[in-house]
Structure formats: structure tokens, C-alpha cells
């Protein structure tokens, strides 16, 4: 439970521009869609996906590190990892189970016999978009668990895109359609308060000292 008095006190340390920025970004954030990357080898690819999630308002990113475990490339993510929540999993099955418990359908972003093209995607279902390894693609575990197979139409000689490019194209499309719909896609009031406090924590210098002083004066 968020201490609203503490939150109000902490906000006095923010500029009006920063508070307005938080308000605007939070109003566009969603957990209706999320993204999962499965054992992506190239560090810059995961970092770029996180950056795209921040740009298009996706609040949570799920990172499966069954084979490849690396730190996020801060330079490429451009600080996006500070604003987006990262859920890390050691196995893809743990990730899938957790997402399904949260009510997400599993969307495998890969050509498949029963796939649908991006413009045909049903935006009314709460979804997690899975992106696989650079050379191997998604694992059989994801393919077997998938509720939907999604592909980006291509008309050139090249038959694939870099995963970070694919993620950006898909997220831009589905989030635009989502915001044009009547679906209740925004964060809950409680989620907004939690993220506001989290972002303030990452913004204010001497945060712990300020909190200690606040409670000592109560």
C-alpha cells in the first residue's frame, strides 16, 4: 500500500516539468500487452527491445535467460531500463506459466502454418509477444504453448528482420490500434501510484535520507 503522504512529500522535490512528464507517460502506459525475449544472444538486441517497449508504452518486459545471461546494455537502452519493469526467468516454461497465470495469451512472432498477418491481429486479447534467438528463432516450448502465431508481411528478397526491428514494428501497430479502441488498457490507479513512487525513487538524489527525515518528523 502506497503511503500517499510520503508520495506527496517526495513530489515536492520534483520540478513541475518532471511531474507533468510523469503524469503524461503514466497515462499512456499499459500492461495489457507485454513482451518476452527468449535467450537473445546479442546484447544490443535485448536492450533495443526494452527501448522500444518504453517508447510505445509497454510497462513490463520478460527476459528468459536459459542459455544467455547478460547485463542490459545501458547505452543502447538509453535509460529505458529505469522506466520499464524487467521480469527475469531462468526457464522459458516458468515464464510461460507465469504469463498465463496473469491472463496473457502467448503470441509467437514467427511464420507458421496457422499464423496471422500483423494487420489481422485481434487486439482484444491480453497478449505477450514472444521474440526468439537471432538464428534459431523461438524454442519448441514456446511454439507448442503459443495461442497465436504472428508474422510481419514482407515482399522483398529478405525473409526476416532483426528481432528489435520486428518488436518495434509490431508494438507500434498494436499499441496504436489499442489506443484507438474502447478497451480498458491503461494501468490501474494503484499501478500508477506504485510506478510514480518507483520513478521518484530513481530520480531524487539522497532518497533514503529524505524518507528518513520525513518519518522522523511524523
Question: Is 152 assigned to a binding site?
Answer: yes
- CA distances (Å), 192 to each of 7, 27, 142, 161, 187, in order? 12, 8, 31, 34, 6
Mean pLDDT estimate for the chain? 89
Q: How is the chain split into domains, by residue range?
A: 32-196
Q: How far apart are CA 108 and CA 72, in angstroms?
A: 23
Instruction: Flag the least confident range among 114-118, 120-124, 167-171.
Output: 114-118
Q: Which of 81, 47, 178 is nearest to 125 (CA)?
A: 178
Question: Is 161 assigned to a binding site?
Answer: yes
List Cβ neighbours of 43 (8 Å cut-off, separation of 6 or more). Answer: 70, 71, 72, 73, 76
C-alpha grid cell for residue 196? 510514480
Q: How far apart are CA 92 and CA 61, in angstroms?
A: 14
Residue 162 pLDDT level (bands cut at 50, 70, 90): confident
Percent of the chain scored above 70 by pLDDT? 91
Q: How far apart are CA 175 and CA 59, in angstroms?
A: 12
H/E stretch holding 101 reads helix 92-101
Mean pLDDT across 102-124:
91
Q: Which one is predicted more confidently, 154 or 142?
A: 142
Question: Is 158 assigned to a binding site?
Answer: no
Q: How far apart are CA 184 and CA 52, in angstroms?
A: 22
List Cβ neighbours of 1 (8 Å cut-off, separation of 6 or more). Answer: none
Mean pLDDT across 145-152:
94
Mean pLDDT across 150-175:
89
pLDDT per residue over 66-108, tens digit each? 665 555 555 555 567 789 999 999 899 999 999 999 999 999 9
Concatenate the DSSP letters of all residues of 151-190 into one string.
E----SS-----HHHHHHHHHHHHHHHHHTS----BPPHH
User: Which pLDDT does position 74 carry in this prediction?
Assistant: 59
Q: Which of 83, 76, 14 is nearest to 45 (CA)?
A: 76
CATH superfamily of 32-196: SPOUT methyltransferase, trefoil knot domain (3.40.1280.10)
User: Which pLDDT does position 77 carry in this prediction?
Assistant: 54
Confidence check: pLDDT of 152 > 70: yes
Amino acid at each position: 500500500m502506497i503511503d500517499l503522504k510520503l508520495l506527496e512529500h517526495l513530489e515536492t522535490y520534483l520540478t513541475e516539468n518532471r511531474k507533468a512528464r510523469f503524469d503524461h507517460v503514466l497515462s499512456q502506459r499499459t500492461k495489457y500487452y507485454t513482451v518476452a525475449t527468449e535467450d537473445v544472444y546479442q546484447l544490443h538486441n535485448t536492450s533495443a527491445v526494452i527501448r522500444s517497449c518504453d517508447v510505445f508504452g509497454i510497462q513490463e518486459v520478460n527476459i528468459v535467460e536459459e542459455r544467455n545471461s547478460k547485463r542490459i546494455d545501458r547505452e543502447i537502452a538509453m535509460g529505458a531500463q529505469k522506466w520499464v519493469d524487467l521480469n527475469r526467468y531462468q526457464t522459458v516454461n516458468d515464464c510461460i506459466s507465469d504469463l498465463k497465470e496473469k491472463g496473457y495469451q502467448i503470441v509467437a512472432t514467427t511464420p507458421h502454418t496457422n499464423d496471422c498477418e500483423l494487420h489481422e491481429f485481434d487486439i482484444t486479447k491480453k497478449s505477450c509477444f514472444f521474440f526468439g534467438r537471432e538464428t534459431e528463432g523461438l524454442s519448441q516450448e514456446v511454439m507448442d504453448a503459443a495461442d497465436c502465431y504472428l508474422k510481419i508481411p514482407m515482399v522483398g528478397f529478405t525473409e526476416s528482420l532483426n528481432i528489435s526491428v520486428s518488436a518495434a514494428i509490431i508494438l507500434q501497430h498494436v499499441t496504436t490500434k489499442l489506443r484507438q479502441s474502447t478497451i480498458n488498457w491503461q494501468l490501474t490507479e494503484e499501478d500508477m501510484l506504485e510506478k510514480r513512487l518507483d520513478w521518484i525513487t530513481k530520480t531524487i538524489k539522497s532518497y533514503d535520507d529524505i524518507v528518513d527525515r520525513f518519518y522522523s518528523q511524523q
